[in-house]
Structure 1
Amino acid sequence: MDALRKALGVLSLVYALIFFGAALLHAGTPAGPLTQPAIVPAVIVETLCAVGLLAGGYGALTRRPWAWDGLIRAHAGALGGVLIGILALALRPSAATALTTWFHDTMAILLAGGLAAAFYASRSRR
C-alpha cells in the first residue's frame, strides 16, 4: 500500500500542475500553440481542483495520518469539477474545443481510477 500511496501522491501533484495549466489557459494566457477563450468560472474550478490535489498529494507524500482521506477527497473533488466542466460543455457545445473535450475526458478517467484506488486502499487498511 505504501507504493500505491506514493504513486497516487505523485500523480496528484502532476494532476495539480495540469489543472493550474488549464486555469492559466482559461485566464487567457497562451501556452505556446495552446490557447483557450477566457472563462472565469473554469479558472475558479480548475484552481480549486489544483489546490485540492496539491493538498492530497502533500498528505500522501509526507505520510500524514489523513493521507488516504485526503487522496479520496482530492480525487472526488477534482472529479466533481471535471464533471461540471463536461456538463457545461454539453449545455454549450459551441464552447467545446478538441483540447477541452480531450482534457475533460482524460482527467475524468484518470481521477476516477485514482479515486477507486484510494478508496480501495483506505478500506483495506481498516
Structure 2
Amino acid sequence: MADKAEMTPLGEDDLDALFNAARARPAEPSVALYERVLTDAEAALPAMPAPAARPARRRGLAARLLSQVGGWPAATGLAAAAAIGVYIGMAAPSAVETMSGGYVASTSGYGMEELMVSYAGLMGSGG
C-alpha cells in the first residue's frame, strides 16, 4: 500500500483526462459474457407444457336460438311478457275491459267454456 505522503490528490485537469479516456472507449461486455447470461436465463425458465388442443364444442339448437334472440336477458324479458300476456288474457281484469271500452266483452259472444275444446268434442261425439 502506498503511504499517505505518496498519494497526491488529482487536479481538475487530471480528472478531465481520465473521464475523456473513459468516454473514448466505452465498456462493452464480451460475446462470451452475453452467451453465458442467455444460457443461464434459459436454464432458469420453467418448462412450458404444450397447450392442449380443445375439441370444438358444438352448440345445441336451444343455445343457437337463444343467441339469435339476444341471449338470456332478452329471453327472460320475452318469458315475462308472455306470462303477463297469458295472465291478462285468462284473468281479464276489469281494468282491461274498462280501458277497451267494453269492446272485448261485447264483440265476443262466447264464454271461455265455449271456446275450450271438450273431451267429447275431441272424440268426435259432439258436444
TM range (shorter): under 0.3
Structure with the largest fraction of helix: 1
Bigger relative contact order, structure 1 or 2, given CA contacts below 8 A and separation 6+? 1
**Which structure has the bigger radius of gyration?**
2
TM-score normalised by L of structure 2: 0.24
